[in-house]
Amino acid sequence: MLPSARKVEPFVGKLGHAISGELQAAQERLLQLRAQRQASRSEAEGQLVSLFAAETNGERPFPITTPITQLPPHLGWESAAVSRSLRRDNVQQSEVTYATAVSIETAVSHSPTLPKTIKLYPDVAIGLLRQELVAAGRLWLLLQVADVANCGWIEESRARELFTGKRGDLRFCGVRQLRNLLAQGDELFWARQNGRIWLRSTAKVAFALEIPQLKLRPVALPVAVLRQKIGTVRAHLYATFHSSRTQHDQAKKPISRETVKKLTEVNPRTQRRYERKAKVKRQAQFAIGPAATTDNLQARAWEQGQATFQFKDFNGQQGPQGKSYVAWQLPNSYVGPHAPQPKGRQKRINQTLTDLFMQGMTGNGQRLSVTRRFFDNGRLAAKSYLRNSEQDHYWRGRGNGRYQLWQVMESSNLS
């Protein structure tokens, strides 16, 4: 167990005082609802995004298309098509199961089904990994899923049915383990009061996880993933980092394993394991330098150690066919398996976070400066190069499916 995991404890104590009780919680929730309502229109549009085809290696595949999530139940269900498709997906689920959960502000006729995905902020996901709170954190996420009515609490009995019951739609553990988890995450992820589990807000949880700000945009995590083995859950939590960074297939910026490690505290060795499990796509990148003369090769080799090799241009991508160039491998770029989500309440959560950290006086938001090395075109690269010629600058060149070639503007260290 890492020492950092233990640090969570004192925070829990502070939490109670830092926030003025249920009032603020309630208010927050109202704001959330309002914000969601506003965001919902745009959300509904960008929802259907492909996940990589799930292979059948014994793991449950998750749905290729992700139906609408996170919508307040009183929106959108007028659409017959949507409702129908949702129902079809979930035949067994009767309204009986949810009869208890429905009733906030607007008269909701019924809440249709559990969402198929959940909005997750990668910063939070990484925080869970870092603090070794994945087991309890997963329950927190599933509780959010179960809270269809978005009222902020779940009946404990219902939770037990859903999560442990034979027919439970979100079954993922036994009764016993559920108790353990509930005890484990008490006060941090939720608070229990007369038979109800009151969910803590994202902001408060982020605070407890020592996350100063949510920087990455949220992604859609399939609920099905949350019901799989803890290792798979871990892998996906990690993968949200990459999913969040891949906006369009254009902007696949390379990032080195070392940088990923700095940002996530996941070691390269583990990164690969997670990526395999969560089906993060990787693409190798190569820099193409000058023609492969002995001098050039030596100069580069001197600078980079063993990393250089000769690239033979069979296809004539760079110039005459068959010509050789000095080449070296660059950091990979990645495409995560999760659909990006609108930022939604992110700004507001960050405001709350700032407040919380101010009150707690624990603002040790050490920022990692990562200087940029990769650019979409030569103009931008040159511009940056003028400011800092200490390091190589790369800009996007040709590429085929398997890898991407980059043009290089070599650092002035290289004589």
Partner DNA sequence: TGATTTCCACAGTGGTACCT
Partner DNA sequence: AGGTACCACTGTGGAAATCA
Q: Is 316 exposed, middle or buried (0-12, 13-18, 19+ CB in 10 A)?
A: exposed
Find the shortest distance in angstroms from Cβ 406 to DNA: 12
293: helix, coil or strand?
coil
* Cα four-point dihedral sign 95, 96, 99, 100: negative
Q: Using CB under 7 A as the criterion, what x/- string covers residues 190-229 for binding DNA?
A: ---------------------------------------x
Find the shortest distance in angstroms from Cβ 404 to DNA: 12
Give the CB-side neighbour count of residue 379, counting CA atoms within 13 A.
0
Output 266 or 381, the one with its CB closest to DNA: 266
Which of residues 331, 336, 337, 340 is near DNA by CB under 7 A? 331
**Whose CA is closest to 114, among 223, 16, 215?**
223
Find the shortest distance in angstroms from Cβ 235 to DNA: 7
Find the shortest distance in angstroms from Cβ 392 to DNA: 6
Q: Using CB under 7 A as the criterion, what x/- string covers residues 376-415 for binding DNA?
A: ----------------x----------x-------x-x--
The footprint of DNA on residues 66-105 (CB under 7 A) is none
DSSP string for 340-402? E---TTHHHHHHHHHHHHHHHT----PPPP----EESSHHHHHHHHHH--SS-EEEEEEE-SS
Find the shortest distance in angstroms from Cβ 299 to DNA: 11
CA 179 to centroid of chain Cα atoms: 27
The footprint of DNA on residues 261-300 (CB under 7 A) is 266-270, 272-274, 276, 282, 284, 286
Q: Using CB under 7 A as the criterion, what x/- string covers residues 134-153 for binding DNA?
A: xx------------------
**Whose CA is closest to 401, among 292, 327, 315, 278?**
315
177 interacts with DNA by CB under 7 A: yes
- In angstroms, the CA 52 to CA 336 distance is 9
Which of residues 131, 144, 264, 332 is near DNA by CB under 7 A? 332
Give the range of 37-45, 112-120, 322-330, 354-362 binding DNA by CB under 7 A. Answer: 322-330
Segment (H or E) for 408: strand 403-409
- In angstroms, the CA 133 to CA 188 distance is 10
Contact residues toward DNA (CB under 7 A) are 1, 5, 129, 132, 134-135, 173-177, 179-180, 183, 229-231, 234, 256-258, 266-270, 272-274, 276, 282, 284, 286, 303-304, 306-307, 309, 328-332, 392, 403, 411, 413
